[in-house]
Structure 1
Amino acid sequence: MNTLGGVSPGAHALVLLAGVALGVAAVGAWRLISARRRAGLSAPVERVLAGAFECFGDAVIVLGRDGRVARANGAALRLAGSDVAPLVGKDVAVISEALAALRQGLARAHATQGTVSLRTGVRAHAAIVRVTGTPPVEVVVLRAEPPRAAPPPLPARAPSLPEPARLGEVLAGAAASVRGPVARAATAASYLRLLAPPLPPRAAEQLTLLDEALDEAARRVGELHGAAEKAASAPRAVDLAPLVSDLLAAWSPPAGVRVRSAIEPAVALAEDRPLRAAIREALRAAGAGAGRGAEIAVHVGRRGASAVVEIAGGAGGDDGDAAAVARALVAPHGGRVEDEAVPGRGRMLRILLPRAAEAAHPHAPPV
């Protein structure tokens, strides 16, 4: 039966062919429209991006409304890192969490910008612009910051080692602080042995070991203290200029007595504390023998192989006690003391010390 009525078979085939062609054309048009909608790119935007993608050298990324990458140029791939390639279809957070957070600014404006850190460790300035369309897209432009120059290396410094005398003072203080607790522990162990009831053999053996250990500790602390005191008293290079200046600044001469000083560079081989005590004693004796209106002269300098501290003044009331005290303080390390009367100036007390090489002292002024 012919259901097409009076239509000929040839016309029937033509109608079917036209219907198929129309269907193919519709599908193609729908795919083209869908592709443009997925990319969200109108023809003017395509032309702008065609230049931006390759002409400026910046990384350019096109995001869909869901925040996923729709397109990216080669610079964007290099910034993102090869391990996330291909970028298309991935969330922008794989490039940078900070960039994903920066997109939130588009809720208040059509564009936003800021500096972000990419997951590859590169810092970049980012600008995001929303392009209206159906649907809208976001264009991200990233420009990497130039690498920061590394700071210049710090100049090499030789390690500073404590001077033997200073190290001796530290060790002497440490030994003295330990000596007391060790002695108290030994005393407590002795009382425990005397007052405790009879102990089991194993406990008595352990108490004996404790006594022996404490005795050994006391012996070693004593040896350390003795060696430390010996090291602390060893002569060393002492810069006399600042030492005498400090003593003069701390000394209060009698009322009406003038002090005149002439201090030149001089480095002596001496022990600091006894030397300071000797100079203080000489200043005390000079001040005690000086009357109102008198003058005390202090001179620091060098004389041959000796570094010299001279203190002149007073009326000769001192009978040599100051010189004897100073001599006892500096003689153990090669120092000498001269005491003489100076006409019109009272007594002159001169402390002569072995000179040390100025170059060996780190704070010695140039000569």
Structure 2
Amino acid sequence: MQRPKTEDAVAAIIAAAKGPLRIEGGGTRPIGRPVEGDALSLSGLQGITLYEPGALTLVAMAGTPMADIDAALAREKQMLAFEPSDMRTLLGTKGTPTIGAVVAGNVSGPRRVSAVGACRDSLLGVRFVDGAGTVLKNGGRVMKNVTGYDLTKMMCGAYGTLGALTEVSLKVLPRPDAAATVTLEGLDPGRAVAAMSAALTTPFEVTGAFYGPYADGGALHLRVEGMESSVAYRAGELVKGLAAFGEAAVQADVEKTAALWTDIRDMTYLADRSFVTRTSLRPSTAADFIAAVNEHTGMTHYLDWGGGLIWSGAQAGDADLIAHMHTHAARLGGHTTLIKAPDDVRATVPSFQPENAIVAALSEGLRAKFDPRGILNPGVMT
């Protein structure tokens, strides 16, 4: 494995490459079809190169550990608002999560359902090396200088197929002083989705809406964050507003609330399953999708993002199951991604939702432009 420590070294390695390169960060998130090629780890590119708390911006090299990012932000009572997950428990991996891998995968947690949006919504700029070994940059290092959003956002979620990220610029936000969770127990799935939809349309700024397991008697959790007095008021109003769905309880302990939402963020509930997927679709179609999946294979499901994200796990899965899920996700206007499976399954099935002909042509054109030799993580997203 090559582990360069400078951007110039990354460019030289890619320019000299004679075959495929397996681009990776800390090795904690092996999602997608396994890539056959020489390993190029970006974990050697470390360091926060610019942090301006007053401007709410942070710039870091791609291999900077997430722990370093979080620690620096915590000292200024700030955070990455999109709440990136740590999948080591779910996937059973070791290593160190890095900020570049988070951006490459557009990794976004429960707060995605709120106004802060996904990782790409916080991304201000990137530096990367394309498949010819050329260093490119796009966007800005602070919000007032940001231009060319499209290319920056295109790199977010490309899983290294368009370029090897070397530096990322991100918007940060103040860390909330307090947090509380409103919980409703014993709801059936239909009422749970209705309750989440109702909560998310209130003015009380819900920053997390989760239900699971998806079965009669599941638990619904709603999170509110902010100043202590505001959190107490908004949680109380949510309890009143959801009275038609049952009697709700409020957990106002910040540490207990943080622990609950960390488990939700990292989906530790499915850590004992060997086959795990996540599906993004409209909350109103969640019941249809789950019913169709369970006709094929019984799975355990959890709903995040107010029902717009479905985590599904099984003790075993194969090519037929992921194909079945892709078919019904497409039918409902959504997409399913294979997150965890044995290596022999990952090697033979498409981990990502197959693209329609128009999108596939656009994707192929972009890859041909940025990686004309086809050496950067080839096939990882097929």
TM-score by length of 1: 0.16
Bigger radius of gyration among the two: 1
TM-score by length of 2: 0.15
Higher relative contact order (CA 8 A, sep 6+): 2
Larger helix proportion of the pair: 1
